[in-house]
Amino acid sequence: MDIEPDLFGQAGAEIELKEPLAARLRPASFDDVVGQERVVRVLKELAESGGLPSLVLWGPPGSGKTTIAHLLSRAVGAQQVNISAVTSGVADLRRIIAEARQARRAGRRTVLFIDELHRFNKAQQDAVLPHVEDGTVTLIGATTENPSFEVIAPLLSRTRVFRLEALDEEELRKIIERGVGELGASLEPAALAALIETARGDARIALNALETASSLAGSAPVGLDQVREALQEGHLLYDRLGDQHYDIVSALIKSVRGSDPDAAVYWLARMLEAGEDVNFIARRLVILASEDVGLADPQALSVAVAAQQAAHFIGLPEALFPLTEAALYLARAPKSNSVGSAYGAAREAIQRTGNLPVPLHLRNAPTRLARQMGHGKGYKYAHDFPGGVADQQHLPDKLREARFFTPGERDKDTDPEKPG
């Protein structure tokens, strides 16, 4: 937890030169923000009106979420308290709320900035909710994940969500050029192109790499070799919204589907070590359990769901154990895609035939009028028949002979014995 210092006043000037380049270039006003024009325009108007609501900034890394939060707090004259959902817990929140309550009595406003809000579990989000509701704090949450999935509904309903986009090439170029000017360096065209391509819209990656490359180059122009060296230091090149994200997720899925446990655990580790959200990985494993293992091993879905719940409950780093267990189980399990094939065939029939009427004997008959119209007439209650299966039509008349589900040769035999 920290209270945001005045980075642009006298106190900030004393430490400015010691800050990383990305911090030194943080915009001093909304007009200095590169990109996000629509969102910035709306938020600037809100802040200038003094009516800053609690909000969630949703966007990819390096798109300006933290910067915009700082500017909003300054615009409304509030003290900003920063916490990370990765390292802070309910005890930290209670202390912050107590301090914010005292500040409020003294007529001072507190903005609670929660970085990586999606990593707060339900209990932590519940702890914030009443204090957002009663105005003790104004919440600004930053998240790279869809808040509809990661933020509890009561908290989400009390905030406004603003979507930020990855910076485009021209916007990133402008920020890099500012960095070059701040460093008093020069940058070769090939080096600039490499920074733009590799950063993939993330200004922080671009500026950190530029600063390191400039140190490596010394007084010489920053070239492609220095940029490549800088980009290899300190992080895995993995953008959760770019090609690396989709390529590695694809590799994990295809390795599990291909029954290769070694490859499955390798790609899983690549994702976790690069900082991928555990909930995203868990969702993919749950989908795999039904899509690619399916009825060949129905227990696979239980294993995957248990892994998702365990990972969400315990968090990183220990979440690697249930996720790895599930990935290995799914990779070693027999495979069947009959579930998806059955649904696809049913969907095709619906698209082809439209809204066919429900057979009368299957219709609900809650009223005398419905019964007089024949609803439910002739329905055979399955439990009254041998084996609990009644020989009757369940599909619309036009599809009475249709077959959508074809068991695979590896599917477990779960069909009830139908009467001859």
Q: What is the pLDDT of residue 242?
A: 46
Provide the pLDDT confidence category of residue 51 given band limits of 50, 70 and 90.
confident
Confidence check: pLDDT of 234 > 70: no
* 3-class secondary structure, 228: helix
Q: What is the pLDDT of residue 102?
A: 94
Q: Are residues 217 and 360 in the same domain?
A: no
Q: Are residues 248 and 140 in the same domain?
A: no
Q: Which of 40-54, 64-78, 348-362, 370-384 is most confident?
A: 64-78
**Which of 201, 232, 263 is the last residue before a domain boundary?**
232
**Which of 163, 198, 224 is the last residue before a domain boundary?**
163
> Per the domain annotation, does 320 fall within a domain?
yes
Query: What is the domain-level CATH number for residue 59?
Result: 3.40.50.300
Provide the pLDDT confidence category of residue 182 given band limits of 50, 70 and 90.
very high
Q: Are residues 190 and 287 in the same domain?
A: no
> Per the domain annotation, does 88 fall within a domain?
yes
Provide the token pair at 269: 């580790």
Query: What is the domain-level CATH number for residue 323?
Result: 1.20.272.10
Q: Where in the sequence is the domain holding 373, given as residue range(s)?
A: 355-399
Nearest Cα neighbor of 403 from 344, 346, 340 is 346
Provide mean pLDDT across the span 191-198. Answer: 89
Q: Are residues 126 and 35 in the same domain?
A: yes
Q: Are residues 152 and 23 in the same domain?
A: yes
Q: Are residues 173 and 100 in the same domain?
A: no
Q: Could you report how far apart the first and last alpha carbons of the chain are, in Å?
A: 71
Provide mean pLDDT across the span 345-368. Answer: 85
Q: Are residues 155 and 70 in the same domain?
A: yes
Nearest Cα neighbor of 149 from 14, 58, 275, 34 is 58
Confidence check: pLDDT of 145 > 90: no
Q: Are residues 63 and 114 in the same domain?
A: yes
CB crowding 6-16: b at 16 or more within 10 Å, else e: ebeeeeeeeee
**Which of 171-175, 326-330, 405-409 shows the lowest per-residue confidence on average (mean pLDDT)?**
405-409
Per-residue pLDDT of 64-120, as tens digits, reads 999 999 999 999 999 999 998 878 888 888 999 999 999 999 999 999 999 989 888
Q: What is the pLDDT of residue 243?
A: 47
d(CA 59, CA 45): 20
Q: Are residues 154 and 177 in the same domain?
A: no
- pTM of the predicted model as reported, rounded to 2 decimal places: 0.55
Which is more confident, 417 or 310? Answer: 310
Residues 6+ apart with CB under 8 A from 234: 208
Q: Are residues 219 and 250 in the same domain?
A: no
Provide mean pLDDT across the span 163-183. Answer: 92
Q: What is the pLDDT of residue 272?
A: 87
Provide mean pLDDT across the span 136-155. Answer: 90
Q: How far is CA 76 from CA 47, 50, 71, 113, 162, in A?
A: 6, 6, 9, 14, 18
Q: What is the pLDDT of residue 298?
A: 92
Provide the token pair at 415: 């069909």
Q: Are residues 213 and 81 in the same domain?
A: no
Which is more confident, 420 or 394? Answer: 394
Q: How many domains does the chain have?
A: 4
Q: What is the pLDDT of residue 11?
A: 41
> Per the domain annotation, does 349 fall within a domain?
no
> Per the domain annotation, does 179 fall within a domain?
yes
Provide mean pLDDT across the span 375-385. Answer: 86
> Per the domain annotation, does 409 fall within a domain?
no
> Per the domain annotation, does 228 fall within a domain?
yes
Confidence check: pLDDT of 185 > 50: yes
